[in-house]
Amino acid sequence: MRIFLILVVTIGLAAVALAGPPSGKTFPYDYRLVILPNGFKAYLIKAGAPGQIAYLTVVRTGAREEWEPNKTGFAHFFEHIMFRGTDKYPDYDSVTTRIGAARNASTSADVTQYYLVAASSSLEQIIDLESDRFMNLKYSEPVFRTEAGAILGEFSQGRANPRLYLMEKLMDTAFDVHTYKHLTIGFEKDVRAMPEGYQYSIRFHERYYRPENCVLLLAGDFDVNRAEQLIRKYYSPWKPGYVMPEIKPEPPQTAPKEATAEFPGRTLPILAVAYKGPAWSATDRLAVASEVLGRVAFGPNSDIYRRLVIQDQKVQSLSAGFGLNRDPNLLTITTMINNPEDLPAIKNEIRSTVEKFRTGPCDAKLLADTKSAMRYGFLMQLETPLGIDSALREYAVFTGGVEAVEDYYRTLESVTAEDVEAAANKYLVEAGRTTVVLLPARGGAQ
Amino acid sequence: MRVVVILTLLILGLSAVAGREKSETPQGAITLSEPNSPFVAFDVWVKAGSQNDPKGKEGLAALTASLLSNSSTLQDSYPQILSKLYPIAGGYSANVDKEMTTFTGRIHRDNLDAFYGLFRNALLSPAFKEEDFKRVKAQAVNDAKQSRRFSNDEELSKELLYWQIFKGTPYEHPAQGYVASVESITLDDVKAFYSRYYTRDNVVVGVAGGYPPGFPVRVRSDFAGLRAGRVEVLPKPAPAPGDGINILIVEKNVISTPISFGFPISLLRSDPDFYAMMLANSWLGEHRESVGHLYQVIREKRGLNYGDYSYIEAFPQGYSTQIPPVNVSRRSQIFEVWLRPVAMTAPGNLHDRALFAFRAALREVAALTENGMTPEAFDTQRAYLKNYYVNFGNTVGRRLAYRLDDAFYGIPDPGFFASTPKGLDALSREQANAAIHKHLRHSGLWVVFITEDAEGLKRKLLAGVPTNITYAGKQPQAILDEDKIIAAYPVTVKEPNITVLNINDVFEK
């Protein structure tokens, strides 16, 4: 037994078997899709380290689904509650301890994800455990209230960080009605009121924790036929019943917005300039082109980065957050400025860079390099079973499956310099702009 | 000097045992061939760290490494480097700890040559341009002046714990230095540090993954281009043993209070007791896993904060990782408890809640020290850890880094990581409990709080009054009964052993 274990570690783990990619495909592994009559989908990907599996469940619900007043932060709160047990397994932690699984969960705007990484021999136990808690979660009100304390602790950690502080102000300013107005952690008043939300939490589970709203990504070393049988056995009793959230679309922004956030601590000024972007798409060339645009115009190889960060050293950092979401969200340029007096000049630099990309095609080599960077960035994630699941996650979130990976990279390949210019023209418009500056609070930086 | 010789011998030894890798592993290199991997990982270890910072220039090792990994070389300007790394999604970075500096990078093997050339040049032929230095230094100054003190209170509390415990030793200052010391560093200081410590005899190159035959020999021969030079080994830090409870309270405008506490231990990874303590510590407070006992008592049952963990080895940047950092090997370690910020989740007083959490944690450490692990806890935790530890070596870069750490500690083949299941299997509960009894204690501690009204907390500590708390929800009677004991758990502290420091003075100079 000992010898076996050592072999697994020294040789087995090491030998990441990379089968040659099926020709012309970006994702190099084959997989099997299992669809149950209740709508539950599972992708079985035999790849990664021998002896290990990563089991990642995507719930296509995040802060975006928090459309009711005073209920922000609930998707994330619910993520915590999911570890609180069922009748069959009242102590979730003790089961995962027994099998030595690494497990965690996280919530963002569009998704709540749960994962376990464990030995392949635990496959059936994990399928049993995970299907059970998604179907039969049970927790008492006192337990629910206790967990609210941990959430407030998490909220206060974030509050001590100037970048999160800035993001909170930016989203609140840019959006009027869409649920992207709030961060995943929720508005403070709602976080503080969470202990009173027990009944609502049960409704939340009933609405969103349904088979047709969840996708399983199972990667690693396992018998695919057996995994399919087990998934059919354990997940088939799950009753469908997903209720669509009543998310209001954000009306078109008609004039630029500006705001200031005062951070209760010391910080250099941080400037965020954001524009309303498109929803994520694997096939819409302009949507994919807008992701390319962020890298080309404001990435580490852009003219503005070289000037402001490397040559003139007027800013500490400059980055573009042009990743897209399920619904139209912000395309954001963020920079930390060395001297507060340079703030107006930096704002102008960003705006004139935007203007430049609206009025001419981008450099052809930079475009080709960007496509290569995005493709290799994806491939570099595929080292571990959990890395594979994570690389595929956003496709599952946005489309309910992972097939769109290939569409996405085909679209990326077809993006031209003119598409990038068109994306800039369509999305980087003054009327859709929100500018927020974060400064240390006057007299507050004790 | 002796340590250098032993390490060199050890590296030779490692290569000799590695069988088919024998001819592939030149002296001064550590290799881990995984021919089917599409990735190649690099880990270059310079045997110097913040302990080698000259007095008044604290932060120099870190600034040197940061400059090398973020600036021009004799071959390429910094913008050229960025533009070459960009299409291959490549990058390299430096990490400086007390004793080790490491430069790591990982690349898809399609792009190995393009990447390696840039990585090699960054270390072997830096341009030391004034403009690059100015940029990198400005970032370090900003970090020291603002970010470190005003963006992450819990990491700050951990850093302050080391600062307290290692006072008067080369481990005292944070690797990033003090505000004044970083401001005083010049480009000439950096060049001198590089020249003194980045020598071919003081650098070990690590290569792992799907590299082509002969590649490690090529890498090592490139690094032989560094100038020759032996480096004197500093004496091992000897922190004061500690007497009573020593408390640092940092005054800061916060809505929640992080707490760190601990004491020096003589235990190292290479010691016979290590697996016993790894197991005991996993039971008490496995990092960011709910299996830990501290987590169960403080967060799970009482919801006082987001998490509660314990450590027997340094664990910097714990907020950003689930698994232990690599290449932070040290010859002197502490036992450490990290209580994430305690917030006001029910009516009452933040100081009472923070002290209650501290008392609860201290009481659990005391119980473990005195009673050891039960047979059930021992068996369950061992079964858990034998599976869980596999995650620690989940990437080729991490498996390589463990081999470098083995070389630091003098751990023979197959190394610490690969020997973990065997080490755990060989343990008995009696051995584990004897090790717990030997290494843990609940007196002679250092404690750090970051909170508002530091003087108020100080008064409360000196008064020694019970710190009762309330809950937002109904709690079982058993919890409420235990709370009475926790709230009054004795924390005896003398006035001269409490230091109050304003946040603006923290790590200033």
Pair B77, A301: CB distance under 8 Å: no
A369–B34 C-beta distance less than 8 A: no
| Tokens 């699941």 found at | A389
Q: What is the pLDDT of residues B350-402, one digit of tens each?
A: 999 999 999 999 999 999 999 999 999 999 999 999 999 999 998 999 999 99
Q: Output the domain CATH number for residue B112.
A: 3.30.830.10
Say which DSSP state A312 is in.
S
B421/B412 Cα distance (integer angstroms):
16
B37–A119 C-beta distance less than 8 A: no
Q: What is the pLDDT of residues A206-253, one digit of tens each?
A: 999 999 999 999 999 999 999 999 999 999 999 999 999 999 999 999
Average pLDDT, rounded, for chain A: 91
Q: B356 with B473, same domain?
A: yes
Which helix (H) or strand (E) segment is B13 a member of? Answer: helix B2-17
Please name the amino acid found at residue B492: T
B153–A160 C-beta distance less than 8 A: yes
Q: B179 with B216, same domain?
A: yes
Pair A80, A154: CB distance under 8 Å: no
Closest CB to B135: pick one of A119, A310, A370. Answer: A310
pLDDT higher than threshold 50 for residue B19? no
Best of A82, A115, A140, A146 to substitute, by most chain B Cβ atoms within 10 angstroms, is A146
Closest CB to A373: pick one of B87, B255, B476. Answer: B87
Which helix (H) or strand (E) segment is B106 a member of? Answer: strand B101-108
Q: B291 with B373, same domain?
A: yes
Domain-located, residue B403: no
DSSP annotation string for A175-227: -SSSGGGS-TT--HHHHHHGGG-HHHHHHHHHHHSSGGGEEEEEEES--HHHH
Sheet holding A102-107, edge to edge: A32-35, A41-46, A214-220, A52-59, A112-119, A102-107
B311/B304 Cα distance (integer angstroms):
20
Q: B164 with B293, same domain?
A: no
Distance (Å) from the alpha carbon of B238 to chain A's nearest alpha carbon: 34
Q: Does A150 touch chain B (CB under 8 A)?
A: yes
For residue B303, which residues of chain A lie inside 8 Å, CB to CB?
145-150
pLDDT higher than threshold 50 for residue A340? yes
A162–B253 C-beta distance less than 8 A: no
Give the mean pLDDT of A77-86.
Answer: 90
Radius of gyration of chain B (CA): 24
Q: B314 with B453, same domain?
A: yes
Dihedral sign, Cα of residue B43, residue B44, residue B48, residue B50:
negative
Give the mean pLDDT of B476-498.
Answer: 96
Q: Which of residues 328-347 of A touch B (CB under 8 A)?
A: 336, 338
Pair A84, B290: CB distance under 8 Å: no
Q: What ranges do the domains of chain A cover? A: 27-161+175-235, 257-440
B33/B270 Cα distance (integer angstroms):
24
Closest CB to A5: pick one of B39, B399, B421. Answer: B421
Adjacent-strand bridge partners of B335: B263
Q: What is the pLDDT of residues A177-196, one digit of tens each?
A: 999 999 999 998 999 888 88
Q: What is the pLDDT of residues B257-269, one digit of tens each?
A: 999 999 999 999 9
Q: B285 with B216, same domain?
A: no
A97–B384 C-beta distance less than 8 A: yes
Count of domains forming chain B:
2
Q: B160 with B302, same domain?
A: no
Q: What is the pLDDT of residues A135-175, one digit of tens each?
A: 999 998 888 888 877 788 788 877 788 999 999 999 999 99
pLDDT recorded at residue A344: 97
pLDDT higher than threshold 70 for residue B14? no
Please name the amino acid found at residue B227: R
Query: Nearest Cα to B207, choosing from B198, B199, B216?
Result: B216
Domain-located, residue B399: no
pLDDT recorded at residue A7: 31
Closest CB to B383: pick one of A100, A195, A264. Answer: A100
Q: Does A368 touch chain B (CB under 8 A)?
A: yes
CA neighbours closer than 13 Å in the CB half-sphere of residue B180: 9
Q: B253 with B130, same domain?
A: no
Q: Does A309 touch chain B (CB under 8 A)?
A: yes
Q: B289 with B373, same domain?
A: yes
Apex CA A407: angle with CA A404 and CA A410, to 5°?
A: 150
Measured CA to CA in angstroms, residue B386 lies from A9, A76, A175, B44, B75 at distances of 11, 31, 49, 29, 48
Best of A92, A97, A99 to substitute, by most chain B Cβ atoms within 10 angstroms, is A97
Its CATH class, for the domain covering A27-161+175-235, is alpha beta
pLDDT recorded at residue B343: 87
A27-161+175-235 and A257-440 agree in CATH topology: yes
Residue span of the structural domain in which B219 resides: 2-223
Sheet holding B203-209, edge to edge: B29-33, B203-209, B39-46, B101-108, B92-96
Q: B64 with B158, same domain?
A: yes
Q: B323 with B462, same domain?
A: yes
ipTM: 0.89
Domain-located, residue B483: yes
Domain-located, residue B229: no
A5–B150 C-beta distance less than 8 A: no
Q: B266 with B318, same domain?
A: yes
pTM for this model (two decimals): 0.91
| A443: confidence class by pLDDT, cuts 50, 70, 90 | low
A376/B505 Cα distance (integer angstroms):
45
pLDDT recorded at residue A88: 95
Domain-located, residue B345: yes
Topology at the third CATH level for domain A257-440: Cytochrome Bc1 Complex; Chain A, domain 1 (3.30.830)
A14–B399 C-beta distance less than 8 A: yes
Query: Nearest Cα to B344, choosing from A151, A79, A123?
Result: A151
